[in-house]
Amino acid sequence: MTNDKGQTLIQAVEQADSASSLVAAVRSLANARLEAGISTLIAVLSYNNPGAAVAAVDGLVQLGDVAVLPLLHQLDGYNYGGRAWAIRALAKIADPRALETLLVAAETDFALSVRRAAAQGLGNLHWFQLPAEEIQSAQERSLNTLRLTSQDPEWVVRYASVAGLQALATAVIQPEFFSQIMTHYQTMLDRESDLAVCTRVRLALGQLP
Amino acid sequence: MVSGAEQNLKSGSSAEQASAGSESLTVEQAIANLQQREDLSLCYYAAWWLGKFRVRESVAIEALIAALAEEADQTESGGYPLRRNAARALGKLGDSRAVQPLIDCLDCPDFYVREAAAQSLGKLGDSTCIPKLMSLLDGGLAAALPIPGSPHLTQPYNAVIEALGTLGATEAIDLIAPFLEHPIELVQYATFRAMYQLTQDRVYGDRLITALKGQKLQLRRAALADLGAIAYLNAADAIAETLAENSLKLIALKGLLEHEVKNNSTESSEVSDAATHLMTLMDNLL
């Protein structure tokens, strides 16, 4: 792939003049897997075009670790839609360098789509990419945040927290954390009033050993 | 009953900031604001607030019902903003005392009051409003065609048809069916939705699945809301794949999931295969 080709793909995204041509242009740029296209793909996340955003997230996830720092640095503080897609991309790439950002987003972001994506991501990080001595404390921090977000006022954030806790339960290196998650699930079943969230807890309990 | 989830779906982005930005009021203040008439903007806001925070106290219901007949708050173009808000709030509060006053609102000259009243009557689930709702479909399709220069149709057909479907008004099927041919997609969707609810014929659910593949985002969003409301299980994968915000897809899938769990609850705590599949789709959208 020459630079020229990359520039052409980037310009096609920037100059797209309809929703459908934007989606097509973003797909082409995403499929090219160009490091040079990362900034453009991140910008697309804030365009308020869900089709294009899905394609851009896919592209960023395919690029993987190399997209993590640009995503962390270019998080859109003013557009919660864009921020939610970026958090989603970080959650799917699962690079633990995103831990701090995900913890803050899950606990404090005002947008439920951001908190939801962060909560799910916190359970799914590639813990093995951390230095061995840091894994336990990182998992403990995720666990504490997910216990907090499982009491979020929005059902979907609680739902995402249940899913995040399930993933975390399969990865914890400290057996005590596993039993804490199981205890927490039982507590949730007792006090959770949302049927979908309760059902997700029951699914987790059925799937965990 | 129309679920709260569906309401979130229809209001789209406002669902995002459900708890943000609302001016802090106490229940007492809100009711007092609604009862006074010196500052109508306070009145208007209080009516919305009482619905939003589900204040079911009798005195609040009575003040809202009184607001349905308020003459003072009228815009230059003849609209009644306070009545609209009061009608919407009463739909959320589930008090049957509101049924007859809302039926009376279906004669209001303000289209948006009639629309809000029809929506709320659907939510309240009291079938006494069915004949009056049916009368708004008088003239059939011919009377329901778009009027050049008007921002809305002669009647709130969407809201009326959806309410009749939600209320299980099978006696209205023959009146509703012609609207399958209405030129406006949103009216067609309301009709698919109601016809599915009234006949359980998959043809209508499948038409909504086809609508998920439409070109316009606004229409895909509407179809998502309708599929969530009728809990059409066959639509699960199409919902997950349509090009729309994940938030809206999640709310629609939640509608399907809750319906599935309620209708297939067993003694054991085991989760059904269908419910598991729905949650797998939901997990992937988080």
State the CATH number of the domain containing residue B78. Answer: 1.25.10.10
- Domain tally for chain B? 3
Is the pLDDT assigned to residue A24 strictly greater than 80? yes
What does the angle CA A45 – CA A51 – CA A57 come to, to the nearest 5 degrees?
45
Choose from A4-13, A129-138, B268-277 the range with maximum mean pLDDT: A129-138
pLDDT tens per residue across span B94-142: 999 999 999 999 999 999 999 999 999 999 999 999 999 999 999 999 9
Angstrom distance (rounded) from CA A52 to CA A25: 9
Q: Do B117 and B190 lie in a common domain?
A: no
Angstrom distance (rounded) from CA B179 to CA B174: 10
Q: Write out the two tokens for B83.
A: 């009545």
Give φ, ψ of A136 to 5 degrees: -60, -45
Angstrom distance (rounded) from CA A200 to CA B20: 27
In a domain, B2, yes or no: no
- Segment A48-62 mean pLDDT: 92
Is the pLDDT assigned to residue A1 strictly greater than 60? no
The interface pTM score, or ipTM, of the predicted complex is 0.89
Q: Among the three residues B180, B200, B220, which one is the final residue of a domain in this structure?
A: B200
Distance from CA of A207 to the nearest CA of B (A): 10
Q: Do B113 and B49 lie in a common domain?
A: yes
Alpha-helical segments (H) within B68-110: 81-93, 99-105
Of B245, B258, B286, the CB nearest to A160: B286
Q: Do B51 and B119 lie in a common domain?
A: yes
- Segment A153-177 mean pLDDT: 96
The pLDDT assigned to A113 comes to: 92
Query: Residue type at B151?
Result: P
Which of these, A104, A183, A193, A198, lies nearest to A149 by C-alpha position? A104
Angstrom distance (rounded) from CA B134 to CA B49: 31
Residues in chain A closer than 8 A to B251 (CB atoms): 156
Query: Residue type at B184?
Result: I
Cβ within 8 Å, pair B258-A195:
yes
pLDDT < 70 regions, chain B: 1-23, 266-269
The pLDDT assigned to B120 comes to: 98
Residue in chain A lying closest to B253 (CA) = A196
CB B88 within 8 A of CB B51: yes
Which of these, B107, B164, B109, lies nearest to B131 by C-alpha position? B164
- The torsion angle over the Cα atoms of residues A196, A200, A203 and A204, rounded to 10 degrees, is -170
Is the pLDDT assigned to residue A2 strictly greater than 60? no
Q: Among the three residues B158, B183, B200, which one is the final residue of a domain in this structure?
A: B200
pLDDT tens per residue across span A79-111: 888 999 999 999 999 999 999 999 999 999 999
Q: Among the three residues B146, B166, B200, which one is the final residue of a domain in this structure?
A: B200
Structural domain of residue B135, as residue ranges?
A: 125-200
